Structure 1
Amino acid sequence: MRVALGQLGGTADPEANLALVEKEVGRAAEVSARLLVLPEATMCRFGVPLAPVAEPLDGPWASRVRALAAGAGLTVVAGMFRPAPGGRVYNTVLVAAEDGRLAHYDKIHLYDAFGHRESDTVAPGDRPLTVEVAGVRIGVATCYDIRFPGLFTELAARGAQVTVVPASWGAGPGKREQWELLARARALDSTGFVVAVGQAAPPEAEPSPAPTGIGGSLAVSPLGEVLTRLGPAPTFTVVDLDLGEVTRARSAVPVLANRRW
């Protein structure tokens, strides 16, 4: 499976971000990718009020992503925000399939860590999600979820061979190293591929206490090998995943079969 990683640097303007999505979809189509993974908060970066930009799945933002995916003949994964009760929003990963179908995952583990409280403005989801892309079962997680191995083993138990992780990782001492270590650990936990795509680091002139991204997107093999690794700047790359590696890894190291709880 050919997977495209679109490490874009989103803005606070959903319309401007749609133009970035269109550009990344075009790039992915040119290289015949079947799946394009974009960051968390692709719709609107963190650090600004999210309720005013939140839209339902049948709203104009998601509908435009849906049309772009169908027009290009590939599946697009991108972070957006949906209205939630009590004035909060859902931190949603939109999965727009090449045939026009939509699926979505609402972030389960909210980023109440390192002095930040995502739960003040974001309502948690409660349902894991897997989808099928080109005959391959894909698991979906986002950002802070990567610190919770149980979600990844659950997705693998549901048949996921690849788990995508859109993110907007918070900056700070050691955070880049933690991001990579966690991605590699979750690949080992699930003996599956992990494709983790973050927001690019914002310009130095735009510091923010919000988790606005550090870049560092990467793809990891089922045995923890880093297949591709990006720097902090906006960029695009592709990786070809040999799904036979999942079968071989799960045969050699059957942690899913051997687990007791």
Structure 2
Amino acid sequence: MKFALLQFPISAQSTENHEQIKRAIFEAKRDGADVLVTQECALSGYPPIEIGAVADIDFELQDAAFNQIVDLVKHTQITVFLGLIRKFGDKAANSVAIIKPSGEVFYYDKRALWGWDAENFDVGNDFNGVVEIQRIRVGVRICYEIRFPEYFRELYKEQVDVAIVSLCDVQQEFDANRYSIIKSHLVTRAIENVFTVISVNSTTFEQTAPTAVIDKQGNLVVEAERNKKSITYFDYEKTEHGFGAKGCVTYSNKLLGL
């Protein structure tokens, strides 16, 4: 199964973000991808870093753009993991919309809400973020959740093959130490859960987390060029666990009482 990892700088004009995502879907389709993954809040921008506030979002305009993307997914038959801020009632959630080729949409809402997130976002549903695509189980988590192994243990229990992490982890100045720490989180989540981890980060400012692919042994398979708008491709093939991975599974199951 071929993944396309889209990283790009957010525009103050939401219509430009929409156009970039549409172009990426067409490009991914042309290049034979089955799945397109975007960064956190790719359609709306992540406030207050990339846009000022949730109140700055024209949700009527965004909903129209989102519906066009759903139609495009149905046309191209590519599954899309799309970061956005969604409204439910008078509240908002930081979500990844999983748009399937049938047009069906599932929303995974960020649960690790701290600081600004806690003041502005809520969790609107209890969807666990796991879908099946071509018999491959794929789960999604959002940004700050990478810090907590418990969120990824949930995916392990769901027998996920690939975990996607959608990020907006950027700063005005590069922080090599932070970049290294978050990359190490990605590696650890892959090794301890014996699954492939795919991360996609924004390029609006200096990236402090990578757009990358880590395999279940903890090997860095793919890493996009830092701070550059790009689509990076990765061909995933499900393989049998090796000796070390079987040991991880054996003791993980024992410790988790599975």
Cα displacement (A) at 1:239:
0.7
Tell me the alpha carbon deviations over residues 100-127 of structure 1, each in whole angstroms, 9 at most, x when there is no partner: 1111101010243xxxx22111124563
TM-score, normalised via structure 2 length: 0.86
Q: Classify the secondary structure of the residue corresponding to 1:244.
A: coil
- Distance in 2 (alpha carbons) for counterparts of 1:248 and 1:3: 27
Q: Give the structure 2 partner of residue 241 of structure 1.
A: 236
The residue type equivalent to 2:55 in the other structure is A
Pairwise CA RMSD = 2.3
Tell me the alpha carbon deviations over residues 84-112 of structure 1, each in whole angstroms, 9 at most, x when there is no partner: 46x54200101111121111101010243
- 1:27 equivalent in alignment to 2:27: yes
Q: Classify the secondary structure of the residue corresponding to 2:203.
A: coil
Instruction: Decide whether aligned partners of structure 1 residues 245 and 78 sit closer, same or farther in structure 2, where only a CA change above 3 A counts.
Output: farther
- 1:221 equivalent in alignment to 2:215: yes
TM-score, normalised via structure 1 length: 0.85
**% same residue:** 20
Cα displacement (A) at 1:159:
2.2
Matches within 5 A, 1:127-138: 127=126, 128-138=128-138
The runs of at least 4 aligned residues of structure 1 exceeding 4 Å deviation read 245-250
Q: Give the structure 2 partner of residue 208 of structure 1.
A: none
- Distance in 2 (alpha carbons) for counterparts of 1:2 and 1:70: 18
> Conserved in 2, the CA contact under 8 Å of 1:84 and 1:123?
no
Q: Give the structure 2 partner of residue 253 of structure 1.
A: 248
> Conserved in 1, the CA contact under 8 Å of 2:10 and 2:204?
no
Q: Give the structure 1 partner of residue 165 of structure 2.
A: 165
Instruction: Decide whether aligned partners of structure 1 residues 158 and 53 sit closer, same or farther in structure 2, where only a CA change above 3 A counts.
Output: same
Unaligned 5+ runs, structure 2: none
- Distance in 2 (alpha carbons) for counterparts of 1:215 and 1:241: 22
> Conserved in 2, the CA contact under 8 Å of 1:55 and 1:61?
no
> Conserved in 1, the CA contact under 8 Å of 2:170 and 2:209?
no
- 1:10 equivalent in alignment to 2:21: no
Q: Give the structure 2 partner of residue 209 of structure 1.
A: none
Q: Classify the secondary structure of the residue corresponding to 2:192.
A: helix
- Distance in 2 (alpha carbons) for counterparts of 1:247 and 1:157: 19
